[in-house]
Amino acid sequence: MTYTMIERKARISNIQKYNMYDGPGIRTLVFFKGCPLRCVWCSNPEGQKYHHQILFKENLCTQCRMCVDVCPTDTHYLDPVTFEHKVKDTDCTGCGKCVDVCPTNALAVTGEDKSITELLEIIEEDRHFYHTGGGVTLGGGEVLMQPEAAINLLAMCKYSGINTAIETCGYAKREVIVGVAEHTDLFLYDVKHMIPEEHHRVTGVRNELILDNLKWLLDNKHNVKIRIPLIKGVNDSEENLRLLLEFLSPYKDFKNLKGIDLLPYHKMGVHKYNQLGWKYPFDDAQKFTQEELVKVESYLQGHGIDVAVIAH
């Protein structure tokens, strides 16, 4: 098999090495920037918007204003009343001049444009770990927001003999799903809520397109592992779990349905909201007890589907 690479740019928010949560084995996880959803519990808020953004650690700022002086777009500015350093959520070009001059490391740019060749070079650095059954996982944000770059990168990884996976919310046009599926060994597919109105309330979009794409993947024998970001009082009700089981019932004996991962809610990304200058919208969420997690896990397993709790 031959494949002609088309050199594209992908906007990346992070690259995580030695990842053991997002797919089998040891993996390199590439976070694409931009997402069509606005989940109220999102732990990667820096991946929501496609444009470059500044992460600002206000507690480290000495108000030296060096970043204000070098910024070509006035993303950094002084409040006209308090004269404190402020950061706009738009206009940043990602040039990094502010980061270079900051004497206290209070600033970072999120969003870096990398070519497919550059990404492949980073991925190849970890090839010696992939004998574990690992490989590359593309996540986000939402990787399907940049379909051309994603398809090109996945295809080149497959051509190089590297196992491929994507972590996705599934909110994309069918032609994007089809194009990506050709080069993807495993879909880690988020199912956030089964009731369309509730899905819209907590993510900003309805779920019909997401479930239609999931059905297509399962019907067409693509490997899928369901992932449920399990949120107490949001999607852990017996009704929601029952609707999920009803949806999956025709597929529970399909070899390409690789089970369900439960991802209990955590607050690991809350500090990023502060650095972006955003208010965290989900402060009142509660963590699950071990007994509560076991109850959900047992309920799903009791209907003939493999279930695992993935706790970060």
Residue 35 annotated as binding site: yes
State yes or no: 43 annotated in a binding site.
yes
**128: annotated binding-site residue?**
no
Residue 39 annotated as binding?
Answer: yes
Q: 61 among the known binding-site residues?
A: yes
Query: Is 49 labeled as ligand-binding?
Result: no
Q: Is 67 annotated as a binding-site member?
A: yes
Task: Measure the CA–CA gap between 232 and 236, rounded to whole angstroms.
Answer: 6
- Token pair recorded at residue 153: 């990168």
202 marked as binding residue: no
Closest CA to 70 of 92, 91, 101: 101
Q: Annotation-wise, does 190 bind a ligand?
A: yes
98 is in an annotated binding site: no
Identity at 284, one-letter amino acid code? D
Question: Which residues does the annotation place in the binding site for [4Fe-4S] cluster?
Answer: 35, 39, 42, 61, 64, 67, 102
Which residues are annotated binding-site positions for S-adenosyl-L-methionine?
41-43, 141, 190-192, 266
Annotated binding site: 35, 39, 41-43, 61, 64, 67, 102, 141, 190-192, 266
